[in-house]
Amino acid sequence: MKMSVRSLLLPNIKLICAPPISDERGYFAETYQYFHFAAAGINHEFIQDNQSGSSRKGTVRGLHFQAPPCAQTKLIRVLRGRIFDVVVDLRRSAATFGKHLTIELAEGSGHQLLVPIGFAHGFCTLEDDTEVLYKVVLRILPRMSGE
């Protein structure tokens, strides 16, 4: 896998590119491999996948933010269509509190966006029939004794 990782303007927001390999049959892409991500300093253990489908261009989803104990790190990629993605830093103690960044993500580009805990995330679809996949790390509190 020839994965590249690029830091964006807000701390800990990463653009990950795992370009697809194409041939006459179509394409193949290895979008997540724990050891490649760990080698790039992304040490999250993703435990859940979510997928959304939007039938109409201009559909807005977000801005979503999960507070502890349900805080989430997300790895977002577009399976079909294109999105205008927005991330906002909501970490009150951060120098970048309240700042945002935008990026376009599209199917077939190999681009994925890593949005860590502490950031709100949302997007607007730029094409009809857009599908988005999110890998999620949930911050779960340990069980209390006696449960």
What residues are labeled active site?
64, 134
Task: Specify the DSSP element, H or E, that contains 65.
Answer: none
Sign of the four-CA dihedral 87, 88, 93, 95: positive
Give the burial class of 125: count Cβ atoms within 10 A of its Cβ; 0-12 exposed, 13-18 middle, 19 or more buried: buried
**3 state SS of 37:** helix
The angle formed by the CA atoms of residues 134, 136 and 139, to the nearest 5 degrees, is: 155
For residue 36, give the DSSP letter.
H
The token pair that represents 52 in the structure block:
């959304």
Q: Is 107 left (phi over 0), alpha (psi -120 to 50) or beta?
A: beta
